[in-house]
């Protein structure tokens, strides 16, 4: 049975209420997410698994405010995204939500330091302040010696660390990671996941990790599985860290 959610719960980081998302492709409709309801408490490390085309990335994009649900409501930090302007959604990503992409999405022609400083500069930060913070974030991911290298001079693992540093530099309360280890070898992948878990545990950052890998998913406190746009399975892997407002999932 689905529990309808009408008011946002402020103790939750993320909340989806009957969310559907459909795309128009060649005259027909492709449903990527179908009536998904889900609650992610603050400080949870949630892993989202599923085969290709199951709706994982769509889910992440909706939560990041990069896409809008066809129906239903998405709440992030207690705010309904549908009601927010583009600027407000941008501000949310500037201050609260750090996004890590599978394909790193680094700017190729500038240094790692400038890539990490990018979100701070969107806030109009001064050069010295933004560089100090970016160097600090790079240090946190173990890349202080590579700050002045361009992406092309870095390994895949290092590039992903730069992407993580860019997500961390704003001190987000939520990190959304889309297949962050998808292009990395197992050792580099493990280092990235350790980094995410460390931030989740030590700083109480909510992490949503979208992954194909069961090994990566096991880093989560809870693992949900999507198939054909619906949540079909849910496993709590860390019962010792119960989610305070875990809701049943249909």
- Binding site residues, another protein, CB under 8 A: 23-26, 30, 32, 52-53, 56-58, 61, 64, 66-67, 86-87, 90-91, 93-95, 99, 101-110, 114, 118-119, 121-124, 151-152, 159, 166, 170, 178-179, 182-183
Rank residues 5 and 54 by Cβ distance to another protein and give the closer one.
Answer: 54
CB closer to another protein out of 108 and 239 = 108
CA distance 32 to 227: 10
- Per the CB < 8 A criterion, the answer to whether 115 and 168 are in contact is no
Q: What's the angle, vertex CA 87, arms to CA 85 and CA 91, rounded to 5?
A: 115
Q: At what angle do helices 127-140 and 156-168 cross, to 10 degrees?
A: 120
CB 139 within 8 A of CB 76: no
Rounded to a whole number of angstroms, the minimum distance from the CB of residue 246 to another protein is 27
To the nearest whole angstrom, how small is the minimum distance from the Cβ of residue 94 to another protein?
Answer: 3
- Please, what is the minimum distance in Å from the beta carbon of residue 240 to another protein? 32
Beta carbon nearer to another protein, 14 or 169: 169
The β-bridge partners of 19 are: 36
- Least distance between another protein and beta carbon 40 (Å): 20
CB of 234 to another protein, least distance (A): 21
Nearer to another protein, 170 or 193 (CB): 170
Q: Which is nearer to another protein, 87 or 202 (CB)?
A: 87
CB of 243 to another protein, least distance (A): 26
Q: Which residue lies nearer to another protein by CB, 87 or 240?
A: 87
């Amino acid at each position: 049975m689905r529990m309808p959610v009408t008011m946002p719960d402020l103790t939750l980081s993320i909340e989806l209420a009957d969310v559907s998302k459909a795309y128009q492709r060649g005259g027909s409709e492709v449903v990527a997410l179908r009536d998904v309801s889900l609650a992610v408490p603050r400080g949870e490390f949630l892993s989202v698994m599923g085969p290709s085309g199951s709706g994982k990335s769509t889910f992440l994009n909706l939560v990041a405010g990069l896409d809008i649900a066809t129906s239903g409501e998405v709440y992030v930090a207690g705010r309904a995204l549908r009601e927010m302007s583009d600027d407000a959604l941008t501000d949310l990503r500037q201050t609260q939500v750090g996004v890590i992409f599978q394909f790193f999405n680094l700017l190729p022609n500038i240094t790692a330091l400038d890539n990490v400083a990018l979100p701070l500069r969107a806030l109009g930060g001064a050069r010295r302040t933004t560089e100090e913070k970016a160097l600090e974030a790079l240090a946190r991911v173990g890349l202080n010696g590579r700050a002045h290298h361009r992406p092309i001079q870095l390994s895949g693992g290092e590039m992903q660390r730069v992407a993580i540093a860019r997500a961390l530099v704003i001190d987000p309360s939520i990190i959304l990671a889309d297949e962050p280890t998808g292009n990395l070898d197992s050792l580099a992948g493990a280092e990235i996941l350790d980094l995410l878990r460390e931030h989740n545990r030590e700083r109480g950052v909510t992490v949503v990790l979208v992954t194909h890998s069961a090994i990566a998913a096991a880093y989560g406190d809870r693992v949900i599985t999507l198939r054909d746009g619906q949540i079909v399975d849910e496993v709590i892997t860390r019962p010792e860290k119960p989610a305070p407002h875990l809701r049943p999932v249909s």
